[in-house]
Amino acid sequence: MQSSIRTPYDRVVMAVPVTIPYVRYSVESAQWWIGRALKALVDGAGITPRDIDGFCVSSFTAGLDSGIGLTQHFGLCVRWIDTIPLGGASAIAALRRAARAVQAGDARIVACVAGDTNHVDSFRYTLENFSRFNQDAVYPYGAGGANASFALIARNYMRTFGAKREDFGKIAVAQRSNALRNPDALMKAPLTIERYMSARPIADPIHLFDCVMPCAGAEAFLVMGEDVAASLNLPAARILATIERHNAFGDDPVQVRGGWAVDVDELYAMAGVKPDDLDFVETYDDYPVISMMQFEDLGFCRKGEGPDFVRQHDLTIDGSFPHNTSGGQLSVGQAGAGGAYLGVVEALRQVLGQAGPTQVRDARVGLASGFGMINYDRGLASGAAILAGPGA
Amino acid sequence: MIEPIQKPRRKNPLQRTQLPTSPPRARSRASHGFTRAAAEGRFMLQHCGACGTFCYPARDACPACLSADLAFTDAPRRGTLLSETTLHIPADVHFRERAPWRIGLVAMECGPTLVTHLHADCEEGGPVVMSFQLDKSGQAVAFAHPERETPNMTDDRQWREMTADPKFRRVLVTNGRSIVGQEVVAALKTAGASIVFVGVAEPWKPFRGEDALRAMEGVEIVPLDIGDEKSVADLAADVGGKVDILVNTTEHVRAGGLLDRQGTSVVRDEIDQSYLGFVHLAQAFGSSMRMRGSDGVNSAAAWVNILSVYALANWPAFGAYSASQAACLSLSHCLRAELRSGGVKVVNVFTGPLDIEWFQTVPPPKVAPRAVASAIVSALKRGLEDVFVGDVAEEIRQRLAANPKAVERELGA
């Protein structure tokens, strides 16, 4: 294991995991959802909005508002602000930036929030206006969002490494069984491998249960000093290590790995733990194939061994490799940028022992990752964090 | 293997006409380099003048060295199909009604990776040859073809969306009296047009080539004097709903510019025939063509203008004629914009002096009418928008790109 020269996140903690339960469609605005999350943060922490002096927000559907407009909307007076448009990597990036701001004394309590609404036509609008490369060179092909892009990636991965649809199915089925224990999950019906296999094709080899359901919702957490958390009597989690990497492996003709693979050694070196030491893993799961790639790139098995790794493990809450314990985006729903936060917020709950019906027994150390921005032919943004609870 | 398309049966008038929808149209300004390439049937990519990298999608700086010197350059067309998918449930209305629709990821031998539409005979892992095409929105998209010719390959369903192939389409050729018109009719019949209506003004007056024209199967001579608004409207009332391709072969060539002519009667004739004739045709046929842009195998597909290349730069020896052609060129851009929502292409075929009697005094090289006809058919089959026929037209195109002022001085010498 290589040694890390990174400054540890000493005396910085995360607290107050917040999820505003999702709905498939909402007539409310993104601002409404972000507002509910902020309210839950201040209530959960026993503070007032004036105590928040750092604000970090991500949203696809807040229209013209970036973080600065939202400060006036919500009556926040902050001395540190960030708006993070990194899609599925937004939560890891938010955590990293907020933690350093707190550590440096630039802010005392940072509210990290992602919230999105989902009107009947807002998903299509998000697709149409996603990025310049997407507008120029993907959307005109009928791709309609990430489905086609991931179909091309998944098919290449299957052919190259021998993954079968059944292997992806095992990931989706395990997450559904986790989701059935999560009252906030939108998917309430059990999923069998037979049902997964016989689902209608969307873009070969992507079928219905490989896709997330766009929905409205919000997720949030607070980042603050250890002493501040103690003075507020808040259970808090330490940040053992983080990594972030964008536009990695640009020369790979088709994406078979994400940016995690560049920095994974540093992730574990900084955390001082090994992959085996983790009690659970929350990967970014907009499609099962991406979770499988993360098993490889985050060091649980070697490249190409993802399918075997899945075959050999039970990925449910009580299994040998508890994975996406809330049910993940595949079964809870994808609330826009909230999808980035889902795994991070669940990981925080797990290490704090606050996960209730989805709690992994004796969870002390866990990993959450992010992935996002299918700008053209691949996901560009990636990140991961290892969190530790009070008992670790 | 592609099953050959079948000749459409007569349409049931009670059935709904499928209305045209457009694939996504928005593009960055830089991306219109591909539109230009597709319009002329070229395969161009951005090529870095500093480090030689080919890149895609369109950028404003080189991803290898950050140089801004990224000219669109003719690029090698070969690549390998890395991965493919069939879209069953696309989000976009246009593709949803055309699903299943196949797209893929192609690694070009020259470097970049292209998301592309696929010809059905492209095989995963195999070699492909790329082109840029104008889709039904009029914007450029990448299209992958099999390396070698395959049976019935032009009948491929996705390819036909990119082209205006005359096969099983109904065509109106506006001037059957001209040699060019007659050659166009013959070429379109050979290309599989199901019927060609041929406009002839005052059809009781005999003309050269009439017998051959009347002897051709699937050719119907119709009365049409395009300088006469009522004549055009009358024909549209008869056949307007079944014109899938319109080829405007109007030809009104007179020598002379401004100072060697007395009065405006010749100029007015030129404008009446060429420019107002175009207006009459567009107003009579344009809207029903636009309405029928998605109407199955024999949907309305293209409007073709034959223009003098001197529409682009005035040739004073035929100065007033050049001006009438410039007016038609300008109007064609208006028509192109208005037909775009129907997915109907406007093809401009630019030609140098034709080998016809009105250019008697002009020295060679001149363009054979048959060459114009075959260029039109080729443009329709390949889905092109701007075509230059013959050496003179091609030379003017290149000289204009290099220095338009030099062209002006030299044509006026």
Q: What is the pLDDT of residues A57-91, one digit of tens each?
A: 999 999 889 999 999 999 999 999 999 999 999 99
What would the mean pLDDT of A233-239 be, rounded to a whole number?
A: 98
Residues of A in contact with B56 (CB under 8 A): 137
Same domain for A205 and A221, yes or no, is no
Mutate to test the interface with A, among B95, B102, B115, B157 (most CBs of A within 10 A): B115
CA-atom Rg of chain B in angstroms: 22
Same domain for A192 and A222, yes or no, is no
Band the pLDDT of A128: cuts 50, 70, 90: confident
Band the pLDDT of A3: cuts 50, 70, 90: low
Domain membership of residue A197 (yes or no) is: yes
Q: Say how far residue A111 (Cα) sits from the centre of its chain.
A: 17
> Above pLDDT 70, what percent of chain A?
99
What is the pLDDT, as a whole number, of residue A143?
80
Q: Which residue has the tokens 């998000």?
A: A126
Residue B9 amino acid letter:
R
What would the mean pLDDT of A215-225 be, rounded to a whole number?
A: 98
Q: Phi-psi region for residue A312, left (φ > 0), alpha (ψ -120 to 50) or beta?
A: alpha
Band the pLDDT of B58: cuts 50, 70, 90: very high
Counting one residue from chain A and one from chain B, the pairs whose CB atoms sit within 8 A come to 120
What is the pLDDT, as a whole number, of residue A182?
97
A137 pLDDT more than 80:
yes
What would the mean pLDDT of B173-199 be, rounded to a whole number?
A: 97
Same domain for A380 and A255, yes or no, is yes
State the average pLDDT for chain A: 96
State the average pLDDT for chain B: 96
Query: In which domain, by residue range, is A70 found?
Result: 12-121+216-231
Three-state DSSP at B8 gives coil
What would the mean pLDDT of A310-314 be, rounded to a whole number?
A: 98
Give the minimum alpha-carbon distance from B108 to chain A in angstroms, rounded to a whole number: 10
What is the pLDDT, as a whole number, of residue A122?
78
**Pair of tokens at residue B226:** 């395009």
Same domain for A116 and A201, yes or no, is no
Give the minimum alpha-carbon distance from B54 to chain A in angstroms, rounded to a whole number: 13
What would the mean pLDDT of B191-200 be, rounded to a whole number?
A: 98
> Cβ of A141 and B28 within 8 Å?
no
Residue of chain B with shortest Cα separation from A121: B91
The domain limits of chain B are 32-162, 170-411
Band the pLDDT of A2: cuts 50, 70, 90: low
What is the pLDDT, as a whole number, of residue B259?
93
**Pair of tokens at residue A67:** 């973080």
Band the pLDDT of B399: cuts 50, 70, 90: very high
What would the mean pLDDT of B137-155 be, rounded to a whole number?
A: 97
How far is the C-alpha of A246 from the C-alpha of A213, rounded, in Å?
25
CATH of the domain at A22: 3.40.47.10
Same domain for A322 and A223, yes or no, is no
What would the mean pLDDT of B76-89 be, rounded to a whole number?
A: 97
Give the minimum alpha-carbon distance from B65 to chain A in angstroms, rounded to a whole number: 14
- Kindly state whether A229 is in contact with chain B, defined as any CB-CB distance less than 8 angstroms: no
Spatial CA neighbour of B175 closest among B270, B246, B280, B266 = B246
Residues of A in contact with B95 (CB under 8 A): 142, 144
Least confident of A118-127, A189-198, A237-246, B360-369: A118-127
Given A231, A262, A286, the domain boundary residue is: A231
Same domain for A178 and A272, yes or no, is yes
Domain membership of residue A26 (yes or no) is: yes
Residues of B in contact with A128 (CB under 8 A): 24, 26
Same domain for A171 and A305, yes or no, is yes
Which has the higher per-residue pLDDT, A128 or B167?
B167
> Above pLDDT 90, what percent of chain A?
93
Q: Are B210 and B283 in contact (CB under 8 A)?
A: no
What is the pLDDT, as a whole number, of residue B1?
80
Domain membership of residue A2 (yes or no) is: no
Burial of B35 by CB count in 10 Å (0-12 exposed, 13-18 middle, 19+ buried)? middle
Spatial CA neighbour of A42 closest among A220, A180, A210 = A220
Which helix (H) or strand (E) is A172 found in, with range?
A: helix A165-179
> Cβ of A142 and B82 within 8 Å?
no
What is the pLDDT, as a whole number, of residue A120?
87
Residues of A in contact with B114 (CB under 8 A): 137
Same domain for A107 and A149, yes or no, is no
Q: Say how far residue A39 (Cα) sits from the centre of its chain.
A: 22
**Pair of tokens at residue A51:** 């105590």
What would the mean pLDDT of B303-313 be, rounded to a whole number?
A: 98
> Cβ of B83 and A155 within 8 Å?
yes
Q: Are A226 and A11 in contact (CB under 8 A)?
A: yes
Give the minimum alpha-carbon distance from A290 to chain B in angstroms, rounded to a whole number: 17
Backbone angles phi, psi at A380, to 5 degrees: -95, -35
Q: Which CATH superfamily is domain B170-411 in?
A: NAD(P)-binding Rossmann-like Domain (3.40.50.720)
What is the pLDDT, as a whole number, of residue A144?
67
How far is the C-alpha of A290 from the C-alpha of A297, rounded, in Å?
10
Same domain for A226 and A254, yes or no, is no
> Cβ of B85 and A132 within 8 Å?
no
pTM of the model: 0.94
DSSP string, B140-166: EEEEEEESS--TTGGG-HHHHHH----
Give the minimum alpha-carbon distance from B15 to chain A in angstroms, rounded to a whole number: 27
Domain membership of residue A132 (yes or no) is: no
Q: Report pLDDT digits (tens) over A326-379.
A: 999 999 999 999 999 999 999 999 999 999 999 999 999 999 999 999 999 999
Q: Report pLDDT digits (tens) over B254-285.
A: 999 999 888 999 999 999 999 999 999 999 99
Same domain for A241 and A227, yes or no, is no
What is the pLDDT, as a whole number, of residue B14?
87
- Kindly state whether B111 is in contact with chain A, defined as any CB-CB distance less than 8 angstroms: no
How far is the C-alpha of B57 from the C-alpha of B38, rounded, in Å?
15
Structural domains in chain A (count): 2
What is the pLDDT, as a whole number, of residue A63?
87
Spatial CA neighbour of B160 closest among B381, B385, B412, B345 = B381
Which helix (H) or strand (E) is A113 found in, with range?
A: strand A109-116
How far is the C-alpha of B331 from the C-alpha of B276, rounded, in Å?
10
Give the minimum alpha-carbon distance from B273 to chain A in angstroms, rounded to a whole number: 40
Which has the higher per-residue pLDDT, A247 or B262?
A247
Same domain for A179 and A314, yes or no, is yes
> Cβ of B103 and A153 within 8 Å?
no
Residue of chain B with shortest Cα separation from A155: B83
Residues of A in contact with B25 (CB under 8 A): 140
- Strands B113-118, B127-134: parallel, antiparallel or unpaired by DSSP? unpaired
What is the pLDDT, as a whole number, of residue A4?
66
What would the mean pLDDT of A211-234 be, rounded to a whole number?
A: 97
A277 pLDDT more than 80:
yes
- Kindly state whether B101 is in contact with chain A, defined as any CB-CB distance less than 8 angstroms: yes
Same domain for A110 and A30, yes or no, is yes
ipTM: 0.91
What is the pLDDT, as a whole number, of residue A233?
98
Helix, strand, coil percentages (3-state) for chain A, rounded to 5, are: 40, 20, 40
